[in-house]
A and B are shown apart, each in its own frame.
Chain A
Amino acid sequence: MRSRPAAVAALFFLATSPAGAQQLFFRVGGVHARYADTVSGTAGVLSSRLAWDSPRTTGTLDASLTQFSGGLWAAQTAGSVFGIRLLTPTVGLGVRAEGEGGYLEDGAWSAIGSAGPVFALVSGSWLYSAGLGFGAVRRVDRLADATVAGNVMVRRDSGPFSIQATLAATRAGLTRIADATLSVTYDKAAWTVSALGGARTGNLGGQPWYQGRLAFHATPWATIEAEVGSYPPDLSGFTDGRYLALGVWLGAGPRRRVLRHEPATSLGAEAQRGVTIETIESGHQRITFVVPGASRVAIAGEWNDWTPVALHRLDGARWQVDLALSQGAHRFSLVVDGGRWMVPQGVPSLPDDLGGRVGLLIID
């Protein structure tokens, strides 16, 4: 029987290690947990995280195995996939699917999963999103229910600070809950400090919860973290609890640079840039520029021997063109009102040796 934890760990890590993951992290740590005010335990925890990241999609897959000092072990896994498509430079529509499962050595297990649409809107440095999730839960008491959930979120990224507020309502069988959370993250130099508070109404506990995390990024591949907090009971039948955890994350492979930026968040940055580039099919891009005060706009670049091609006006200051550009950096300029060559604000530009500047249109 002692081989079971190792077998489960091997199964988890093999199953969650498909080729192509862009980031792979392992965490080694310990946790002291006190559950529902009746039992407590101290355990070692081995976790893994695989992540995929592209401009419009992200995915993560977590797995962890816990061995309590008293001999009991537990395993859990969680995963999510999120993809978004721009409807306009400030509005996106996406799909999120997520799920998780937990297993205790004595055979108790639960699983929950959901999927649904996500709507995102960006205004300045604010991000607003709303989502629906439809799924199912299998509880530890072996009963299963369909779930319906909705949530709204508002977030602001300002320098090293990120502030996020979420309201979520969930129904699973006879259980109805509504959660409100507020989190703040400060990310500066080698330190990340996060704090979260939550409150609930409904028939699944009403105690507020809090969580704090301090992380020190010692090297590009190692982060030391300490966490303390509490959490409420969940729909799967596992209890609420409090915890104190210490651990070290070790990374391998390319890192996700902007982890706190979900793709929807990048909408905000794109809205503020002078250009938005969207791939409409392989090798073809739909490019939108923001050029205030122009009555005619054309684009010329090295790909067409600097022959101006007219853009069509979308609305106000936004001008659009479809081009077929290869992957790479392309030198270009806009021609405004038939004679003024310029590079739109927000686009990297270099001196052109001809007395002006030339923009770099980067196709990835």
Chain B
Amino acid sequence: MRIIRAVLAGAAVLAAPTLLAAQNADVQARLEARGLPAALARGVATIAAGASARGVPDQPLADKAIEGWAKRVPAERILGAVRHFADEMARARQAVTAAGVESPSGAVIAAAAEAMRSGMRTEQVRSVVQAAAAGDVAAPGLSVAAALKAQGLGGEEAVRIVVGAMRNHESMAQLLDLPSIARAMHDEGLSPGDIEHRMLDGSDGGDHDGWRSGDRGSRPSNVPPSTGHDHFQGRMTRLR
């Protein structure tokens, strides 16, 4: 048994560089297919291979390089940005794994890195990931928190809103609608504090009672109807 384990471990050690090289080749091929110069593609692929060895996804790094190339950013700055993003994702991965997710997906790691770049702290990222009952909600939840923060809400407020929505078991569509709602409230002139209050506390469900369209009177729904004395047959108090 010990011999088998040793053989497997040896095979893994031998295979690792091969796998990394394969990933490296995938990234390089994708970048070259998009028109990046071979030298730049090779440099990004090398960074991506190193990042993969740390458990960091490589495709977001390729995306970053393509974005930079499309925006006509000089190659050196693209490499610097890719390297920086790899480091951000490594820190984000630590934050996500500290939240109890042993093998986070690339999407969650990239979203966590983005959230941290927007100014969210490690423990805030952890809160969102922990509140996500299902893994597939964690990435959009982090993106929504980052978007809310980018809209001017504080990191704490953004996290409380997202975590509150998750704990309310809101659907993915409702979660993704939060930035639109916050924006609408902002456009109304509400302060970030008021936005947070209204989004967290919601309404009481009774705000519209009694405020009907007015085309057939407006008796509040919690006031019982009456036809006057005819139907009460003395069981209510006469006021004559």
Q: Mark B211-223 against chain A: 1 for CB-CB distance below 8 A, else 0.
A: 1011111111111
Q: Is the CB of A158 within 8 A of B147?
A: no
Scan residues 175-215 of chain B and give those whose CB is less than 8 A from a CB of chain A.
175-177, 179-181, 183-185, 187-190, 194, 197-211, 213-215
Residues from chain A with a CB closer than 8 A to the CB of B78 are 354
Residues from chain B with a CB closer than 8 A to the CB of A247 are 206, 222
**Given A239-B228, A241-B223: A49 in contact with B205 (beta carbons within 8 A):** yes
Q: Is the CB of B150 within 8 A of A327?
A: no
Closest to B151 in A: A348
Residues from chain A with a CB closer than 8 A to the CB of B200 are 220
Partner of A108, one of B174, B207, B227, B236: B227
> Is A362's CB within 8 Å of the partner chain B?
yes
Interface centre among B143, B180, B184, B213, by most A CB within 10 Å?
B213
Stretch at the interface among A86-94, A258-266, A281-289: A258-266
Residues from chain A with a CB closer than 8 A to the CB of B187 are 125, 268-269, 272-273
Closest to A66 in B: B224
Task: Report the separation of the CA atoms of residues A187 and B173 in the bound assembly, to the nearest whole angstrom.
Answer: 26
Residues from chain B with a CB closer than 8 A to the CB of A54 are 173
Residues from chain A with a CB closer than 8 A to the CB of B139 are 328
Partner of B194, one of A114, A147, A157, A188: A188
Residues from chain B with a CB closer than 8 A to the CB of A158 are 188-189
Q: Is the CB of A189 within 8 A of B239?
A: no
Closest to B195 in A: A257
Q: Is the CB of B188 within 8 A of A353?
A: no
Partner of B226, one of A70, A149, A238, A329: A238
Task: Report the separation of the CA atoms of residues A262 and B82 in the bound assembly, to the nearest whole angstrom.
Answer: 44
Residues from chain B with a CB closer than 8 A to the CB of A229 are 210, 220
Q: Is the CB of A258 within 8 A of B216?
A: no
Q: Is the CB of B222 within 8 A of A23?
A: no
Q: Is the CB of B216 within 8 A of A234?
A: yes
Residues from chain A with a CB closer than 8 A to the CB of B222 are 27, 29, 31, 45, 47, 64, 227, 245, 247
Task: Report the separation of the CA atoms of residues A170 and B34 in the bound assembly, to the nearest whole angstrom.
Answer: 65
Q: Is the CB of B221 within 8 A of A341?
A: no
Residues from chain B with a CB closer than 8 A to the CB of A179 are 214-215, 217
Residues from chain B with a CB closer than 8 A to the CB of A315 are none
Interface size on B, residues (CB 8 A): 91
Q: Is the CB of A39 within 8 A of B226?
A: yes
Q: Is the CB of A104 within 8 A of B207?
A: no
Q: Is the CB of A305 within 8 A of B210?
A: no
Residues from chain B with a CB closer than 8 A to the CB of A333 are 71
Closest to B71 in A: A341
**Given A238-B227, A355-B73, A360-B143: A62 in contact with B204 (beta carbons within 8 A):** no
Q: Is the CB of A348 within 8 A of B73?
A: no
Residues from chain A with a CB closer than 8 A to the CB of B240 are 38
Residues from chain B with a CB closer than 8 A to the CB of A190 are 197, 201
Q: Is the CB of A354 within 8 A of B184?
A: no
Residues from chain A with a CB closer than 8 A to the CB of B71 are 306, 333, 341, 352, 354, 356
Q: Is the CB of B207 within 8 A of A231?
A: no
Minimum CB–CB distance for B35 against chain A, Å: 10
Closest to A33 in B: B223
Partner of A39, one of B70, B205, B228: B228
Scan residues 156-179 of chain B and give those whose CB is less than 8 A from a CB of chain A.
164-165, 168-170, 172-177, 179
Q: Is the CB of A300 within 8 A of B70?
A: yes
Task: Report the separation of the CA atoms of residues A237 and B85 in the bound assembly, to the nearest whole angstrom.
Answer: 70
Residues from chain A with a CB closer than 8 A to the CB of B70 are 300, 305-308
Task: Report the separation of the CA atoms of residues A164 and B156 in the bound assembly, to the nearest whole angstrom.
Answer: 34
Sample 15 A-B pairs with CB under 8 A, ordered by A number.
A25-B205, A36-B226, A38-B240, A68-B236, A159-B189, A166-B214, A179-B214, A211-B220, A223-B204, A237-B227, A243-B220, A305-B34, A348-B179, A350-B118, A360-B147
Contacts A72-B232, A239-B228 known; 6 new A-B pairs at CB < 8 A: A25-B204, A220-B201, A268-B184, A352-B71, A354-B77, A360-B179
A residues contacting B by CB (< 8 A) are 22-23, 25, 27, 29, 31, 33-41, 43, 45, 47, 49, 51, 54-55, 60, 62, 64, 66, 68, 70-72, 74, 76, 78, 98, 100, 102, 104, 106, 108, 110, 112, 114, 125, 131, 133, 137, 140, 147, 149-151, 153, 157-160, 166, 168-170, 179-181, 183, 185, 187-190, 192, 194, 196, 198, 209, 211, 213, 215, 217, 219-220, 223, 225, 227, 229, 231-241, 243, 245, 247, 249, 251, 253-261, 266, 268-270, 272-273, 300, 302, 305-308, 327-329, 331, 333, 341, 346, 348-356, 358, 360, 362-364
B residues contacting A by CB (< 8 A) are 34, 63-64, 66-71, 73, 77-78, 81, 84-85, 111, 114, 117-118, 139-140, 143-144, 146-148, 150-151, 164-165, 168-170, 172-177, 179-181, 183-185, 187-190, 194, 197-211, 213-229, 231-233, 235-240
Closest A-B pairs by Cβ, 7 of them: A255-B202, A269-B184, A223-B204, A25-B205, A234-B217, A329-B143, A364-B176
